[in-house]
Chain A
């Protein structure tokens, strides 16, 4: 439920020089991640979470769902975070829950960015009536309060399985990115390299896919990160208030059961605090990466001293 951190979509024309190709842009991003400390921290955190999500069984040896132990055990080497009210191992539950959160983050991040590209770029490229009508849809979705809307949708769907959550979040939260991409595409529309492609007689689809979109790589990466962050926050919040599937193994669901059993009030604070901490950490990983990309895209925002120190380095690189 964090707000967009940088600026306002109407005023972010983010002027970046178009690059030659997406491969080169990705290489530049890779180098930038290594040079920027915030980006490095974010990337390392995200990497750790991905590893946990891929191989939960290696890290946690207990079942995440079985009520196998005595309830409310304290912290010990056998149960790193103790057990909850039902006798489930909390550590195992959180380790196994990572996968659900990451799946939602990545699927929603990719899908929203994809829809935003389609709609934003199409609006900018087609212009005219298509542009205005797509614009109205985007603007409306931008201002309708999303979380209450998601609550209403999930309530009518009688609680959301992971699939329902993904679909609902994706369909409602692409508008911010679409707005950004549209203004970026508008600034590029009349550039020479696109004109050249048109003169060569390329089809519009080719121009959009091969010429236009690669120039927006860094913007797309930033959009993916923002959308993934919102997906994590929205989905966990919905699961927390009981609008997810209570049988899913996920951080938000763990929070739901903790809140249901008044974990804070009955002396089991870890049950509620630990999953929230993980959500915050994963969110911070996305946010740090995103902030770093802001600095990379807009050199004026970089820390002053660092810019001076790296100056020689950058001249060589540029």
Chain B
């Protein structure tokens, strides 16, 4: 319980620092970049929207930095992220709301598959130490882990999208022929479009699971209780899964949390290559159209999502491993 509370405290502190970063960055940059943006949209915005943006970016305010800061925190905490400039007059929250499900679906499924498959491969690779599988898999994925996500995506687009025409390589569904709705054709269309991005993400991330799992598993296999299980004459499968893997999987779970930030970052580039209508693609669109309110809102959303996932993984680890509860 104390452990969970401490993690919760860390979550709050990190969130606060991320908010403060968001507040400070536009104000620290030479010639507040938000100023140019504001003057560009000056005539088009309603006074209320303009006021909200002024609070967010600290433009045209004669207030002290400190009261600006509290105004900003108040506005964010009450859920007002301002108005999107590129999709005026929609609010930032509603614009984000339309994109988030695409990313959650894509990243969620790909990450889950990568975790399950990667951990499984890692277990088998460590168990068959020195076998063909074990001599090929780890070095391969060391190299794969160094490949930029977007390049994997590009190669897949080139081969399976543009050359073989097996899968669509752009967008989340056929915008011209298909209308979103709860029917089978749309569902199939979405899956079809998600296939290549999901495979890119899977290839890019699976290596970490394999390598971490294999390396911990090798250490675990040398433990006395594994030798004891062997001496008792237990079936191999049982030793591998119930004795070794079960104890070796913990670092993979913590790693799961640590790596989420990387996965989300990589998904941004994959969405960019596929023009996939998720938050990553939207973030880059916001950057190129200088829609700073939307950009800040997306950055906050991504940060909160990652922090929350880490919190969940931390609590999960504590439930599974009694040692973490008493550590430090």
Contacts and interface: CB of A to CB of B under 8 A. Distances in A.
B251 A156 contact: no
Most chain A CB neighbours (cut-off 10 Å) among B142, B211, B307: B142
Interface in B178-226: 204-205, 207-208, 211-212, 215-216, 218-219, 222
Interface of A: 1-11, 38, 136, 139-140, 142-149, 151-153, 155-158, 229, 233, 236-237, 240-243, 259, 264-265, 269, 272-273, 276-277, 279-280, 283-284, 286-288, 291, 294, 298, 300-301, 303-305
B158 A284 contact: no
A241 B269 contact: yes
Given A8-B258, A151-B284, A264-B157, A140 B147 contact: no
Contacts of B154: 264, 272-273, 276
Contacts of A157: 29
A253 B41 CA distance: 31
B299 A149 contact: yes
Contacts of A303: 130, 135
Contacts of B262: 1-3, 145, 147
B212 A7 contact: yes
A298 B303 CA distance: 34
Most chain B CB neighbours (cut-off 10 Å) among A149, A242, A259: A149
Contacts of B143: 280, 284, 287-288
Given A264-B157, A276-B154, A7 B25 contact: no
Closest 8 CB pairs of A and B: A147-B265, A283-B146, A276-B151, A145-B261, A287-B146, A304-B130, A2-B145, A280-B147
Contacts of B302: 145, 148
A10 B254 contact: yes
Dominant secondary structure at the A interface? helix
Given A143-B306, A144-B18, A264-B162, A233 B208 contact: no
A145 B269 contact: no
B29 A273 contact: no
B265 A156 contact: no
B254 A1 contact: no
Given A2-B146, A3-B208, A265-B162, A144 B261 contact: yes
B21 A5 contact: no
Contacts of A264: 154, 157-158, 162
9 contacts: A1-B204, A147-B261, A147-B268, A153-B25, A156-B33, A273-B158, A276-B150, A286-B146, A301-B215
Contacts of B212: 5-8
Interface residues of B, number: 71
Interface string B133-170: 00100110011011111110011011000100000000
Interface in B294-319: 295-296, 298-299, 302-303, 306-307, 310
A143 B299 contact: no
Given A3-B263, A140-B13, 19 more contacts: A1-B262, A2-B208, A5-B207, A7-B255, A140-B14, A148-B268, A148-B298, A151-B283, A155-B287, A155-B295, A156-B33, A240-B269, A273-B155, A283-B148, A284-B142, A284-B143, A287-B145, A294-B215, A304-B129
B258 A283 contact: no
A280 B151 contact: yes
Contacts of A143: 14, 258, 261, 306-307, 310
A270 B263 CA distance: 27
Contacts of B158: 264, 269, 273
Given A143-B307, A155-B287, A291-B142, A3 B205 contact: yes
Nearest to A150: B265
B162 A5 contact: no
B146 A152 contact: no
A8 B21 CA distance: 26
Contact of A242 (B208, B216, B269, B288): B288
A232 B47 CA distance: 45
Nearest to B270: A1
B17 interface: yes
A144 B17 CA distance: 9
B293 interface: no
A256 B262 CA distance: 21
Contact of B211 (A6, A144, A273, A279): A6
B278 interface: no
B261 A305 contact: no
B70 interface: no
A288 B148 CA distance: 15
